[in-house]
């Protein structure tokens, strides 16, 4: 490859490294997605990515893939090489040992165990370091990791499918299907990408969902299933209790030891929570999920849970699939119900980041303004 400038070359290889990093989606949480490309004399001599939580880091996989000596090479890596002994030894030391010439980095690692120390180690060894190449793309790719490592709490993404008048079902509660098939396929991608999925007990009682990730021609990882169930009403014969397709965790205020033990026998975890107004204290839940090392939660409703999460300012991102249909009816539920707010000034405010046509539907992606 011939390049007009070093900047152009750096961008080209970093883009490739970011593409590699994406291959880890669904397999590395709560670790970051990281890709690495090794270039020597204008030729790619090694590439790798972080493939699995607890597994070798991207740099190690790239080094191991190279059939040539990487001394004097330029290493493109989407995250600052680590400087700590974690599940694997420090990547920065590894690169120093291999005497690479230059390291090009997309994002600095905010993990307090690293936070600039990886870069320092490289520079102290006389390796040239360039940072911030395609930084914005990297921040987007690893938005879950960056949020989690800074806040110790999961990124909370509220996803819903609505009609143009904001309904999630008819007055007879018929909801399958409001959005088109492509949108539904995207939902399964989200279930693979985000580490956990959360629903309220009413959704379990009404639909008996399995909340798994089913993607055509791809092996998907099922999310950890979280149920907000204030009175511990979950039926013992529900799919979430019986199917063993992924862990189920219940948050409740009911200390019914007999039922809790029966659920434990089914490998379902139950956390007793403080009660707040209408039910389970959701601030407690989100903090607990952070402690459990869950980096992201996809909320799939229903309307009451959505209302509690929005009113407690616990949602970070919203993904709304809007279908070109009008349902109407005062008894047809909307995406957010519960008790709502009194004044318009208390409304949750969002910043729309993207609108995309998905065949006949629209996907609106927005961030909650905190
Ligand atoms: C890298 N390359 O591919 C990744 C890095 O528990 P460990 O040992 O896997 O360490 C996880 C931490 O290491 C993670 O929080 C992040 O700071 C960094 N991840 N670093 O150099 C990689 N996945
Ligand atoms: Zn590392």
Tell how far the Cα of 9 is from the centroid of ligand 2, in angstroms.
24
**What distance in Å separates the CA atoms of residue 218 and residue 23, rounded to the nearest whole number?**
12
DSSP code per residue over 34-99: -EEEEEETTEEEEEEE--STTS--HHHHHHHH-SS--TT-EEEEEEPPP-S-SSS--HHHHHHHTT
Ligand nearest to the CA of 93: 2
Distances (CA, A) of 141 to 34, 37, 186, 197, 321: 9, 17, 17, 20, 21
Give the mutation target among 22, 31, 35 for probing the ligand 1 site: most ligand atoms within 8 A of CB: 31
* The pLDDT of residue 245 is above 80: yes
What mean pLDDT do residues 222-227 have? 98
pLDDT for position 88: 85
pLDDT class of 224 with cuts at 50, 70, 90: very high
> Would you call 216 helix, strand, or coil by DSSP?
coil
Percent pLDDT > 70 in the chain is: 100
* The pLDDT of residue 218 is above 90: no
* The pLDDT of residue 193 is above 80: yes
The residue whose CA is least distant from atom 21 of ligand 1 is: 81
Does 86 sit in the ligand 1 pocket, CB within 6 Å?
A: yes
Q: Is 59 a catalytic residue?
A: yes
DSSP 221: P
pLDDT for position 338: 83
**What distance in Å separates the CA atoms of residue 27 and residue 308, rounded to the nearest whole number?**
30
Residues 6+ apart with CB under 8 A from 168: 160, 161, 162, 175, 178, 301, 302, 303, 333, 334, 335
pLDDT class of 140 with cuts at 50, 70, 90: very high
Tell how far the Cα of 34 is from the centroid of ligand 1, in angstroms.
8
DSSP code per residue over 234-261: --TTSHHHH--SS-EEEEES---HHHHH
pLDDT tens for residues 71-97?
A: 999 999 999 999 989 888 899 999 999
Bridge partners, 159 (sequence order): 319
pLDDT for position 217: 82
Render the burial of 129-162: b for 16+ CB within 10 Å, e for the rest: beeebbeebbeebbbbbbbbbeeebbbbbbbbbb
Whether residue 57 contacts residue 91, with contact meaning beta carbons closer than 8 Å, is answered with yes
Tell how far the Cα of 271 is from the centroid of ligand 1, in angstroms.
30
Whether residue 139 contacts residue 107, with contact meaning beta carbons closer than 8 Å, is answered with yes
* The pLDDT of residue 278 is above 90: no
What mean pLDDT do residues 290-301 have? 96
Whether residue 322 contacts residue 164, with contact meaning beta carbons closer than 8 Å, is answered with yes
Residues 6+ apart with CB under 8 A from 367: 316, 317, 318, 350, 351, 353
Does 295 sit in the ligand 1 pocket, CB within 6 Å?
A: no
DSSP 178: S
pLDDT for position 356: 98
pLDDT class of 2 with cuts at 50, 70, 90: confident
pLDDT class of 211 with cuts at 50, 70, 90: very high
Tell how far the Cα of 57 is from the centroid of ligand 2, in angstroms.
5
> If you search the block for the tokens 């998907």, which residue do you land on?
220
pLDDT tens for residues 49-79?
A: 999 999 999 999 999 999 999 999 999 999 9
> If you search the block for the tokens 């995406």, which residue do you land on?
335
pLDDT for position 302: 86
Does 57 sit in the ligand 1 pocket, CB within 6 Å?
A: yes
pLDDT for position 322: 98
- CA dihedral of residues 175, 181, 184, 188 (deg, nearest 10): 140
Closest by CA position to 150, among listed 109, 119, 191 = 109
> If you search the block for the tokens 């307090």, which residue do you land on?
112
Percent pLDDT > 90 in the chain is: 91
Say which of 59, 80, 174, 287 is annotated catalytic. Answer: 59
Bridge partners, 251 (sequence order): 228, 271
Residues with CB under 5 A from ligand 2 (ion): 57, 82, 91
**What distance in Å separates the CA atoms of residue 327 and residue 334, rounded to the nearest whole number?**
10
* The pLDDT of residue 1 is above 80: no
pLDDT tens for residues 310-363?
A: 999 999 999 999 999 999 999 999 999 888 889 999 999 999 999 999 999 999
> Would you call 186 helix, strand, or coil by DSSP?
helix
pLDDT class of 265 with cuts at 50, 70, 90: very high
Mean pLDDT value across the chain: 95
What mean pLDDT do residues 2-12 have? 93
């Amino acid at each position: 490859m011939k390049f007009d400038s070093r900047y152009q070359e750096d961008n080209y290889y970093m883009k490739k490294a970011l593409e590699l990093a994406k291959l880890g989606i669904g397999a590395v949480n709560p670790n970051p997605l990281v890709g690495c490309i090794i270039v020597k004399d204008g030729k790619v001599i090694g590439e790798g990515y972080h493939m699995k939580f607890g597994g070798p880091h991207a740099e190690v996989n790239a080094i191991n893939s190279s059939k040539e000596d990487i001394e004097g090479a330029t290493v493109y890596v989407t995250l600052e090489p680590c400087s700590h002994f974690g599940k694997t030894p420090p990547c920065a030391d590894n690169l120093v040992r291999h005497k690479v010439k230059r390291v090009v980095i997309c994002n600095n690692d905010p993990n307090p165990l690293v936070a600039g120390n990886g870069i320092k180690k490289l520079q102290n060894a006389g390796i040239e370091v360039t940072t911030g190449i395609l930084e914005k793309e990297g921040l987007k790719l690893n938005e879950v990791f960056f949020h989690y490592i800074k806040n110790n709490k999961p990124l909370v993404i509220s996803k819903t499918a609505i009609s143009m008048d904001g309904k999630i079902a008819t007055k007879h509660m018929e909801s399958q299907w409001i959005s088109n098939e492509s949108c539904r396929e995207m939902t399964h991608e989200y279930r693979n990408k985000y580490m956990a999925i959360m629903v309220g007990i009413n959704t379990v009682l009404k639909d008996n969902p399995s909340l798994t990730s089913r993607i055509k021609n791809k092996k998907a990882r099922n999310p950890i299933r979280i149920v907000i169930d204030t009175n511990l009403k979950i039926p013992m014969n529900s799919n979430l209790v019986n199917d063993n397709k992924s862990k189920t965790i219940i948050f409740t205020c009911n200390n019914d030891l007999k039922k809790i033990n029966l659920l434990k026998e089914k490998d379902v975890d139950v956390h007793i929570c403080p009660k707040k107004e209408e039910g389970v204290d959701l601030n407690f839940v989100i903090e607990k999920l952070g402690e459990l090392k869950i980096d992201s939660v996809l909320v799939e409703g229903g309307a009451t849970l959505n209302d509690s999460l929005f009113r407690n300012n616990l949602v970070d991102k919203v993904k709304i699939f809007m279908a070109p249909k009008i349902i109407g009816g005062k008894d047809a539920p909307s995406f957010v119900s519960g008790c709502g707010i009194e004044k318009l000034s208390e409304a949750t405010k969002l910043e729309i980041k993207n609108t995309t046509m998905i065949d006949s539907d629209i996907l609106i992606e927005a961030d909650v303004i905190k």
